[in-house]
Amino acid sequence: MSKVALITGASRGIGRSIALELARSGISVAINYNSSYEKAKELLYEIKKFNENVNIYKADVSNEIEVSEMVHKIESDLGEIDILVNNAGISQIGLFTDMTSRERDRMIGVNLIGAMNVTKAVLPSMIYYKSGNIINISSMWGEVGASCEVVYSASKAGLIGFTKALAKEVAPSGIRVNCISPGVIDTDMNSELTASDIEELIDGIPLKRIGTPNDIAKAVGWLISDSAEYITGVVLSVNGGMVI
């Protein structure tokens, strides 16, 4: 039986690459999406060309009921979830004082509570089987903070604390919990950056390029592998040296 992975926010960007990477290594993949049904379907057909064990699942990760229904459906379609990648996230640029409380709550609800909702839904089976891998996708801004992305930074810092505490709590059950902290990655999330913004950013990146979704997917593939079997509770920075 192949392992089963749930990747949240896998319709686009980093999550899409992670789904492809895990599916290529023979893992059964549950593609979660919220609004991008067509893109999720496109990815489903792309993966089906080489791995039949894949399906798409709609759920807003901030909604505990939708998450619980999604996890039950995945368990009956593909089997118990061995690997969870909490990747779904939203960002918003602007002054903290201009952000409405509704926008703030949505950001924390998706980026932080969302990861907690999905983790809570998959943990009982991982604990039962005494095995599992959870990867939380944070951000370098969660490590060092970004001006004009204050609530986003707080949500991502929260994910780092969540990772470390949960890693301690569930290690006795054979479950590893780690965090990846990407730098600037070429996805829709950065679509507002102009060519000159990107050039300026590259100036500040020691490895002299922005990251690709595949850079993050490779790091996930390694962290969930047996090569990393003694690693839990870490924050793995994948940022070309932008934040050290």
> Residue 11, interface with ligand NAP (CB under 6 A)?
yes
Q: Which is nearer to ligand NAP, 137 or 223 (CB)?
A: 137
| The pair of three-digit structure tokens given for residue 178, joined into one six-digit string | 């780690």
Q: Write down the least CB distance from residue 79 to ligand NAP, Å.
A: 22
Q: Write down the least CB distance from residue 199 to ligand NAP, Å.
A: 16
Nearest to 5 by CA among 108, 112, 65, 87: 87
Q: Write down the least CB distance from residue 69 to ligand NAP, Å.
A: 13
Q: Which residue has the tokens 């930074």?
A: 153
> Residue 87, interface with ligand NAP (CB under 6 A)?
yes
Binding mask 203-232 for ligand NAP (x = CB under 6 A): ------------------------------
Q: How many separate helices (H) and strands (E) can be counted in the chain?
A: 9, 7
Question: Which window, 19-27, 60-68, 70-78, 164-172, contacts ligand NAP (CB under 6 A)?
Answer: 60-68
Q: Which is nearer to ligand NAP, 123 or 242 (CB)?
A: 242
Q: Which is nearer to ligand NAP, 55 or 173 (CB)?
A: 55
Cα 39 from Cα 197, distance rounded (Å)? 27
φ and ψ at residue 143, rounded to 5 degrees? -85, -45
> Residue 62, interface with ligand NAP (CB under 6 A)?
yes
Cα 216 from Cα 15, distance rounded (Å)? 9
DSSP one-letter string for 171-213? GGGTEEEEEEEE-SB-SGGGTT--HHHHHHHHHT-TTSS-B-H
> Residue 14, interface with ligand NAP (CB under 6 A)?
yes
Q: Write down the least CB distance from residue 181 to ligand NAP, Å.
A: 7
Cβ neighbours for 210, distance < 8 A, ≥ 6 positions apart = 183, 184, 185, 186, 190, 198, 201, 202, 240
Q: Which is nearer to ligand NAP, 2 or 214 (CB)?
A: 214
Q: How far is CA 59 from CA 32, 50, 111, 114, 148, in A?
A: 7, 25, 14, 10, 29
Residues 103-162 that bind ligand NAP (CB under 6 A): 110, 137, 139
Cα 244 from Cα 230, distance rounded (Å)? 23
Active site residues: 152
Q: Write down the least CB distance from residue 137 to ligand NAP, Å.
A: 4
Question: Which window, 33-41, 166-174, 197-205, 229-237, contacts ligand NAP (CB under 6 A)?
Answer: 33-41
Give the interface with ligand NAP as residue ranges (CB under 6 A).
8-9, 11-15, 32-36, 60-62, 87-91, 110, 137, 139, 182, 184-185, 187-190
